[in-house]
A and B are shown apart, each in its own frame.
Chain A
Amino acid sequence: MAVQVVVRLFWLIVSLFVASVLVFVVVNVLPGDVAAVILGTSATPEALETLRHQLGLDQPGWVRYLAWIGSMLHGDFGTSVLSHADVGPLILQKLSVSGPLALASATIAMMVAVPLGVLAGTRYRSTTGTLISTLSLVGIAVPAFWAGLLLATVFAIQLRLLPAGGFTDWSTDPIAAMKSLVLPALALGLVNAAVLTRYIRSAIIDVQREDFIRTARAKGLTRVEALRRHGFRYAAIPVVTILGIQLTGLLVGAIVIENVFVLPGLGRLLFQSVGNRDLLVVQDVVMLLTAIVLVVNFLVDLTYRVLDPRIRASA
């Protein structure tokens, strides 16, 4: 078992490495002359040269790559060429918005999806089951940002209950800060809940067809008891795997939602940096997000291996 963990850890590091190379190449190498990208076509050769030197672009690619990785591992995310702000602290500040948003969305998603998914799975032939299934199908089709727009229209503009955008700092007014996160978290959470509900539902439906459920009933357990005592722990395993994939969806959705509600989080930072051609910030944020996804996937994979005794024992 320990061997398996080490092997996976190794592959995680390899994946992080490959991802970082990918990101670096796309952001730095592809556009050709980065200085020209930043300064535009009307820049003088001298200005370009100066900027290139400033950015360290006169050094070979792999040196710049190593410098980037090296400083990141030390916690130094560099300084933005355009805003002259330290990227590290900037990211931390944005995380104070994105983090709670992601957490709130994930909580809403699970609180809605688990009971609904289980219900839809256990009663999949009834009207309740079909209704939930249909609702979840519709939920999957709804773009999260549209859901946000609709919620904003109803609750913010028509009913004036919650803000349609903007964010007050946590330290200034925590209640207002929370209010700003309600609609975005709902939009993101409900849409993700739809996907999760479908998964849980199909896992529960599948497990009911298993032979060991019949054996459990042959022992004297009712259908419901058999499902509860035997089915759930078996169905939980694939569901846990899905949670990791869900995170990717949540991250992506957060990027867009932050722009819908003008929340000063990582997503908005990324978006603005793209517009400003602040390539270093883009590079750092994308790398950070990718790293989060890869690490979470790694953790989910580990959890899955721990939960399923068939895999745990075959070390």
Chain B
Amino acid sequence: MAETLRVENLTVRVGSLEIIHGISFSLRAHERTGLIGESGSGKTLTALALMGLLPEGLHAEGRVAYQQRNLLELEEQDLCRLRGDRLAMVFQEPMTALNPVMKIGQQVAEPLRIHRGMRAREAHSAALDILHRVHLPDPEEKMQAYPHQLSGGQRQRAMIAMATACSPEVLIADEPTTALDVTVQAQILRLLVELVEDGGSSLLLITHDLPVVANVCQRVLVLYGGYVVEEGDIDVIFGQPAHPYTRALLDAIPPLDEEVPDRKLKAIAGSVPNLGEFPPGCPFRNRCPRADEACSVMPALSGDAHRVACWHPLA
């Protein structure tokens, strides 16, 4: 399959502190890739770095190759042409990510007006179509509504509508369902899959929620402490995880198939350190049952289809 986006050695720094340490991965057309990590692993920052939307004080280095150009080196105006059109992002909290004082219709129509040069009326009816496509109930009515008048799930549909309006090649979804009710989560995920398959985009789904990844993605990247520690196809990762962290994450999922759980919930020992407080070498050292002196140096990602960065991988 064709590669749409290739990330090479992406490093993100705040001041002199390195947060994301030279990670590399690629996204392919029609493929749904998951980026798993706990809070503090740097997954949102990775997404923002790809879009060129890092907050003040953070800097990205490396190469984000898209259409033979390095996005990190593009001029802002060129990036603006790509954002919303070829590269789009869905954010976590739709209540704050949408403009509270602007009508939904206007916000959804905006990418079309910017990138397709549509006039107001044209964009309006196109936006209506998109809202239909994301299965928003009563789209005509909702076009004239404000964000606070919609439910959480409806807001997220509107956000997805906004992001997919121009049929982007790369769609990044940052925790798109975390702020939603469980019942709505499944619907939104199904919607994302549907849109991505219809539109042929690459999806990068960022989440801390493993079952979500299991349901939606074909490939998985596991992020910890600013490093990609494991990467592979979904069945392999979930079936035969190689990195101790991945194993621990899987073990920590409470089993639903047992009547009365006959074992204690396996939490991962310790807690995620704050940014800048990870130990030198492998960031998982202090919580890993298999760690030793060799782990004071960070191993590189090795393997081909299934890659892992560990001196003592499982299996």
Known interface pairs A219-B110, A219-B111, A219-B162. Does A230 touch B99 (Cβ–Cβ under 8 Å)?
yes
Binds A, one of B87-95, B122-130, B218-226, B228-236: B87-95
Given A219-B88, A220-B114, A309-B100, output 7 extra A-B contacts at Cβ < 8 Å.
Answer: A214-B91, A218-B163, A219-B110, A220-B84, A222-B80, A229-B110, A313-B148
Establish whether residues B53 and A218, one from each chain, have CB atoms under 8 Å apart when the complex forms: yes
**B210 part of interface (Cβ distance < 8 Å):** no
Contact residues, A135-156 vs B (CB, 8 A): none
Task: List, in ascending order, chain B residues with CB within 8 A of A229's CB.
Answer: 110
- For B, the interface residue count at a CB cutoff of 8 angstroms equals 31
> B101 to A309, Cβ gap below 8 A?
yes
Whether the pair B80, A221 counts as a contact (CB closer than 8 A) is: yes
B297 CB within 8 Å of chain A: no
Interface: A4 (CB within 8 A) = no
B146 at the interface (CB under 8 A from A): yes
> Is B91 in contact with A215, judged by CB distance below 8 angstroms?
yes
Main SS of chain A's interface residues?
A: helix
Say yes or no for B16: interface residue by CB 8 A criterion.
Answer: no
Identify which of residues 194-225 in chain A touch chain B, using a CB-to-CB cut-off of 8 Å: 210-212, 214-223
Given A217-B53, A220-B84, A222-B76: A233 and B102 within 8 A (CB)?
Answer: yes
CB neighbours of A222 from chain B (8 A): 76-77, 80
Cβ of B84: which chain A residues have Cβ within 8 Å of it? Answer: 218-221
- What are the 3 A-B residue pairs with the smallest beta carbon separation, nearest first? A220-B84, A219-B84, A211-B96
Which residues in A have their C-beta under 8 angstroms from that of B180? none
- CB of A298 closer than 8 Å to a CB of B: no
Does the CB pair B102–A230 fall under 8 Å? yes
Interface 0/1 of B6-29, CB less than 8 Å to A: 000000000000000000000000
B149 interfacial contact with A, CB 8 Å? yes
Instruction: Find chain A residues with CB under 8 A from B101 CB.
Output: 233-234, 237, 307-310
| Cα distance A276–B223 in the bound complex, in angstroms | 81
CA distance A218 to B83 in the complex (A): 6
Chain A positions within 8 Å of B, measured between CB atoms, are 210-212, 214-223, 229-230, 233-234, 237, 307-310, 313
Q: Is the CB of A219 within 8 A of B114?
A: yes
CA distance A212 to B100 in the complex (A): 8
B81 contacts the other chain (CB 8 A): yes
The docked-state distance in angstroms from the alpha carbon of A152 to that of B100 is 48
Instruction: Kindly list chain B residues whose C-beta atoms are within 8 Å of the C-beta of A308.
Output: 101
Complex Cα distance A224/B115, Å? 17
A191 CA / B114 CA spacing, docked (Å): 41
Q: Which residue of B lies closest to A214 (CB)?
A: B53
Give the chain A neighbours of B148 by CB distance below 8 A: 309-310, 313
Chain A residue numbers with a CB within 8 Å of B93 are 211
* Whole-angstrom distance between the Cβ of A40 and the nearest chain B Cβ: 61
- The 0/1 profile, CB within 8 Å of A marked 1, for residues 130-166 of chain B is 0000000000000000101100000000010011000
Cα distance A237–B97 in the bound complex, in angstroms = 19
Q: Can you report 29 A-B residue pairs in the complex whose CB atoms are below 8 A from each other?
A: A210-B96, A211-B96, A214-B91, A215-B91, A215-B97, A215-B98, A215-B159, A215-B162, A216-B99, A216-B110, A217-B80, A217-B83, A218-B83, A218-B84, A218-B89, A218-B163, A220-B80, A220-B111, A222-B76, A229-B110, A233-B101, A233-B102, A234-B100, A237-B101, A309-B100, A309-B148, A310-B100, A313-B148, A313-B149
Q: Which residues of A contact B203 (CB under 8 A)?
A: none
Considering the chains assembled together, what is the distance between the CA atoms of A47 and B297 in angstroms?
A: 103
Q: Would B51 and A218 count as touching, CB distance under 8 A? A: yes
Report the nearest A residue to B162, measured CB to CB: A219
User: How far apart are the CA atoms of A223 and B83 in the complex, in Å?
Assistant: 13
Closest CB of chain B to A314's CB: distance in Å?
8
Closest to B159 in A: A215
Residue B169 interfacial (CB < 8 Å): no
Nearest-neighbor residue (CB-CB) of A312 within chain B: B146
A307 to B101, CA, bound (A): 8
Q: How far is the CB of A209 from chain B (nearest CB, A)?
A: 9
B175 on interface, CB distance cutoff 8 Å: no
> Are A309's CB and B146's CB within 8 A?
yes
How far is it, in angstroms, between the C-alpha of A217 and the C-alpha of B99 when the chains are bound? 12
Report Cα–Cα, A230/B149, bound state, in Å. Answer: 19
B82 at the interface (CB under 8 A from A): yes
The answer to whether B98 touches A212, judged by C-beta atoms less than 8 angstroms apart, is yes
Whole-angstrom CA separation of A233 from B100 in the bound complex: 10
Report the nearest A residue to B89, measured CB to CB: A218
Select from chain B the residue with minimum beta-carbon distance to A310.
B148
Asked whether B81 lies within 8 Å of A220 as measured between CB atoms, the reply is yes
Q: Which residues of A contact B76 (CB under 8 A)?
A: 222-223
The chain B residue with its CB closest to the CB of A125 is B56
Closest Cβ–Cβ distance, residue B42 to chain A (whole Å): 17
Report B-chain residues with C-beta under 8 Å of the C-beta of A223.
Answer: 76
Closest to A308 in B: B101
Residues of A within 8 A of B31 (CB): none
